[in-house]
Chains A and B, each alone.
Chain A
Amino acid sequence: MELAIAWGAVWRRSLQLRVVISTLALSTAVVLVLGFVIQTQIAGNILQAKLDDAQNQIESGAALLERELASVDPNREGAQGELNNALDRLTNSSDASGTPAAGAFRAVLATTAIGANSSVAAGPLEDVPSDLRQSVADGARAVRYGTVDSQGIDVPALMIGQPVRTANGDLEFYLLFPLDSEQRTLGLVQSTLIVGGLVLLLLLAGIASIITRQVVRPVRRAAEIAERFADGHLDERLPVQGEDELARLGESYNEMAGSIQEQIRQLEEFGALQRRFTSDVSHELRTPLTTVRMAADVLYASREELLPALRRSSELLVTELDRFEALLGDLLEISRLDAGVAELGAERTDMHTVVVRAVEHVRGLADETGTPLELELPTGIYADVDPRRVERIVRNLVANAIDHSEAKPVQVVLAADEHAVAVLVRDHGVGLRPGEASLVFNRFWRAEESRARRTGGTGLGLSIAVEDARLHGGWLQAWGVPGEGAVFRLTLPLNEGDVLESSPLPLGPEPDTARRVGTSVPTPPLGFAPVGDGVPAGGAR
């Protein structure tokens, strides 16, 4: 079975092998047919010649015998002797005559009395088959092919018989021509054909092999070069010789490679520009922002000493500066993620600690809104992740949940299996409408009902969270039912670089709820367009 699979693989992978074997197969068929035809023709011709000569022989023989034995009486004494003599004379005369003999033969002469008690015969009558005797007895010349016994060996023979007219009835005259030499000839022809055929096939295979190699070699080289190009050696080009189809292929390929290389170069340049931009902007914006921030804080610290209008101004100043700072940070982060320059600082992390830290960060918000937090965070789960990013994601998810939960409990669940770890944040508040589960990750998207935004979010939190998840090769997915709540699930591979196939936690409703109205929309993997609702996409690259 494995041999068949291995053979199948070799067959599929080698064009040359296929061509050579196909050529061989067809040639074999042709050679076989041709050989068969040739052999049959030769055999037919040989036998026909033999037959013709046999007929000539028996005619002349019969004529001779009719003269000799015109008056023979089978019932008389000495009839046997007369028959023998006649046969001897026949043999001698045929030796001496100039007519082309049909080769050696044995003659049989017998009186027509098959099965009768008195029958005189000369020669090996027992070798003549009875159906031939019957035909001859009926008065016609007949031919049969059979075997005769020659020194203990059965030899094929041509047997021809003719009635000989005498005064006292017809005699049966048979000539038995052994065909052993013809058989040997045919055997020789056959073996010659076989040997010749084999040699021919081998030569054809060789020729086919050489010729296909002429075509396959440039194709193989092109495949190798294309592979190297795909691996990143963007300078690889095909050598182009001549003007035939292969040359055209080479030229087109080279053009394409050049164009791709140029595009990649441009993209890299763009990426470098982006990097420099974010770095420059980062520095330039941050310094004055720091000064402004410090000034605002100084004012804020002394606000009690200010007039109410000034006090209020300083409070607003500080709050809005917080928002501004958050927005700036998020914009810069997203711009780095877009440019592909964000680095994953993955290290072996205790997931429990990270999630607890994230939750503690928003504990104040939960207390303010009176939202109970229900945590199911087992310890002992370690994963290769970037703790800062994961904390940011979880913090965002929990803050969103608190924001939208309308003071109903928010559950945070941590779980893992052998391949992945998942953090699930569930709320029972406003929920998501069908279709919103994928929109919610868009930049600056907000649901239509305006809710009091306690967190003062930037609108980029989930977009950044999705990109952070993707950077790990993980998933961030949402599901919800209007009026009943929403679930956000973060799934990350335990080991950096693994491809995710499933999540340790289910995305749908709580296990005891049977209804399932919304759809689960997974985060599309990097490089693919967003997939439709409910289609689980694979992990990132």
Chain B
Amino acid sequence: MKSRVLVVDDDPALAEMLTIVLRGEGFDTAVVGDGTRALPAVRELRPDVVLLDLMLPGMNGIDVCRAIRTESGVPIVMLTAKSDTVDIVLGLESGADDYVVKPFKPKELIARIRARVRRTETEPAEQLAIGDVTIDVPAHQVARAGEPIALTPLEFDLLVALARKPRQVFTREVLLEQVWGYRHAADTRLVNVHVQRLRSKVERDPEHPEVVLTVRGVGYKAGPP
């Protein structure tokens, strides 16, 4: 079954080009030219990946991202012309899983989209725990003391990767490879922001984390089970 990509971009030429490239790679595509129409399109079409341009008329890309996130954990890849840390972090914090800076090499975009779409089909029945946070891996459920916590697929994968090896410290590069699927060095800011996002959802006190711990100068590790 073909994976479906929803393209949210107001530039018709770019949107058309994206469609051509994606179709050539075997994806199904749909295009939305206006931020306000993005959420209804997500509901209706149920895409596997959303490609979201941040500079949009009508609703701003960041707001679109947030809106989609309230309803769905669909992978979102930002397209942005700005590469400043502030802008990247803002986009990631509002719910995007990854970002691509214009102008990009189409191959790079395709690789990132594929990485997001890829799901591991068979997972062993696993129950993991960090502190009083329980993780039901096959059911993709995370709960603290019985109260369920909603995580996006990427946040879930990040938590599971850490929880599987509680005493191991993961560098950002390793996390990028395991969780995002990027074998070549990508932007470690992705990891930083996603850890922050994860913490804000999963920790009792994000300023004093107990579930996802920072190991200064190296990376992150899970708290004790």
Which residues on A are within 8 Å of B, measured CB to CB?
279, 282-283, 286-291, 293-295, 297-298, 301, 325, 343, 345, 348, 350, 353, 357, 382, 387
Contact of A343 with B107 in the complex, beta carbons under 8 Å: no
Among B86, B102, B105, the one with the most A-chain Cβ atoms within 10 Å of its Cβ is: B102
Closest chain A CB from B80 CB (angstroms) = 9
Contact of B81 with A282 in the complex, beta carbons under 8 Å: yes
Q: 16 A-B Cβ contacts within 8 A? A: A279-B82, A282-B81, A283-B55, A283-B82, A286-B103, A287-B11, A293-B104, A294-B20, A298-B17, A298-B20, A298-B24, A298-B106, A301-B24, A325-B103, A345-B85, A348-B217
Tell me if B21 is interfacial: C-beta within 8 Å of chain A: yes
Helix, strand, loop or mixed for chain A's interface? Answer: helix
Closest chain B CB from A390 CB (angstroms) = 13
Could you say which of A282, A289, A343, A353 contacts B86, with CB atoms under 8 Å apart? A343
Question: How far apart sit A350 and B102, CA to CA, in the bound complex (Å)?
Answer: 28
Tell me if B13 is interfacial: C-beta within 8 Å of chain A: yes
Question: How far apart sit A4 and B221, CA to CA, in the bound complex (Å)?
Answer: 59
User: How big is chain B's contact interface, by range?
Assistant: 20 to 34
Question: How far apart sit A290 and B104, CA to CA, in the bound complex (Å)?
Answer: 6
Task: Using A291-B14, A387-B188 as known contacts, list a sample of 19 further A-B pairs with CB atoms less than 8 Å apart, ordered by residue number in A.
Answer: A283-B82, A287-B11, A287-B81, A288-B11, A288-B13, A290-B14, A290-B104, A291-B11, A291-B16, A293-B103, A293-B106, A294-B20, A294-B106, A297-B105, A298-B24, A301-B24, A343-B85, A348-B216, A348-B217
Residues of A within 8 A of B81 (CB): 282-283, 286-287
Question: How far apart sit A287 and B217, CA to CA, in the bound complex (Å)?
Answer: 37
Tell me if B185 is interfacial: C-beta within 8 Å of chain A: yes
Residues of A within 8 A of B102 (CB): 286-287, 289-290
**A286-B103, A287-B102, A382-B217 given; A294·B18 CB < 8 A:** yes
Q: Which residue of A lies closest to B55 (CB)?
A: A283
Tell me if B84 is interfacial: C-beta within 8 Å of chain A: yes
Among A279, A290, A301, A348, the one with the most B-chain Cβ atoms within 10 Å of its Cβ is: A290
Residues of B within 8 A of A325 (CB): 103
Closest chain B CB from A322 CB (angstroms) = 9
Contact of B105 with A293 in the complex, beta carbons under 8 Å: yes
Residues of A within 8 A of B14 (CB): 287-288, 290-291, 294
Q: Which residue of A lies closest to B14 (CB)?
A: A291
Question: How far apart sit A241 and B200, CA to CA, in the bound complex (Å)?
Answer: 60
**A298-B20, A348-B216, A357-B185 given; A290·B103 CB < 8 A:** yes
Residues of A within 8 A of B85 (CB): 343, 345
Residues of A within 8 A of B188 (CB): 387
Question: How far apart sit A343 and B103, CA to CA, in the bound complex (Å)?
Answer: 21
The 3 A-B pairs at the shortest CB distance, nearest first, are namely A286-B102, A286-B81, A290-B103
A-B contact count (CB 8 A): 61
Closest chain A CB from B1 CB (angstroms) = 24
Contact of A297 with B11 in the complex, beta carbons under 8 Å: no
**A283-B81, A343-B84 given; A289·B21 CB < 8 A:** no
Q: Which residue of A lies closest to B9 (CB)?
A: A287
Q: Which residue of A lies closest to B79 (CB)?
A: A290
Could you say which of B21, B55, B217 contacts A298, with CB atoms under 8 Å apart? B21
Residues of B within 8 A of A286 (CB): 81, 102-103
Question: How far apart sit A343 and B82, CA to CA, in the bound complex (Å)?
Answer: 13
Question: How far apart sit A293 and B102, CA to CA, in the bound complex (Å)?
Answer: 10
Residues of B within 8 A of A295 (CB): 17
Question: How far apart sit A387 and B105, CA to CA, in the bound complex (Å)?
Answer: 22
Question: How far apart sit A294 and B104, CA to CA, in the bound complex (Å)?
Answer: 8
Residues of B within 8 A of A283 (CB): 55, 81-82
Residues of A within 8 A of B82 (CB): 279, 282-283
